[in-house]
Amino acid sequence: MRDLLQIGWLLSCLLLGPATATLADGAVAVPNAGFEDVDEKTGLPLGWTAWAANNTCAFTLAMAHSGVACARVTDTSSTVSQGLRSPRVPIAPGSAYSATAWVRVTELQAGGFALYLEFWRGDQRIQDTAVSTTRAGEWTQLRVDGTAPPDADSATLLVYGGSATVGEAYFDDIALSAAP
């Protein structure tokens, strides 16, 4: 009987182990967070949407922080913003969250490249916070913190070059987690 209990305990460890190891404590699963999947119809990372009507951002195999692919944000205009927004993920209202992304700026004539953490109520964006970098050449991790408003129901991450920005940056391995 004791042996059977031990076998049962070992089996449950084996079965539960991989699932619990996939995401760290507090992590919120964001679809296609590593930009490995492409939408063949649009050329965008699957599930992500373009900020600009005249979009110049794309899925790319040109480089990657991990895996084989990432997202490229190309901004050739000093008056138009460019960016890619993640699928919406459900969040707990009133809770604190941290968003991170790896970015490698390869060209920068003006401005900088940013990571936004956005909170939504239905289809309305009700809060956003951002961090940006002008550092070019190396992969750099960006982190932005925000607390979900009491009436928020979802969050998105936005990788972005603002209106004044002219340059090109690669983003990879975005993540969202609830503060402990």
Which chain residues interact with Ca ion by CB under 5 A? 34-35, 64, 67, 70, 172
Distances (CA, A) of 121 to 28, 89, 149: 18, 12, 9
Shortest Cβ 95–Ca ion spacing (Å): 27
Beta-strand relationship, 154-161 and 89-90: antiparallel
Nearer CB in complex with Ca ion: 64/152: 64
Shortest Cβ 161–Ca ion spacing (Å): 19
Q: Residue 49: how many CA atoms within 13 Å on its side-chain side? A: 6
Shortest Cβ 67–Ca ion spacing (Å): 4
Nearer CB in complex with Ca ion: 70/117: 70
Nearer CB in complex with Ca ion: 74/80: 74
Nearer CB in complex with Ca ion: 102/119: 102
Beta-strand relationship, 89-90 and 124-133: unpaired
Shortest Cβ 13–Ca ion spacing (Å): 30
Interacting residues of 114 by C-beta distance below 8 A, sequence separation 6+: 130, 131, 132, 133, 142, 158, 159, 160, 161, 162
User: Which residue's C-beta sits nearest to Ca ion?
Assistant: 67
Rg of the chain, C-alpha, whole Å = 19
Nearer CB in complex with Ca ion: 102/120: 102
Shortest Cβ 132–Ca ion spacing (Å): 21
Report the alpha-carbon angle 23-26-27, nearest 5: 40
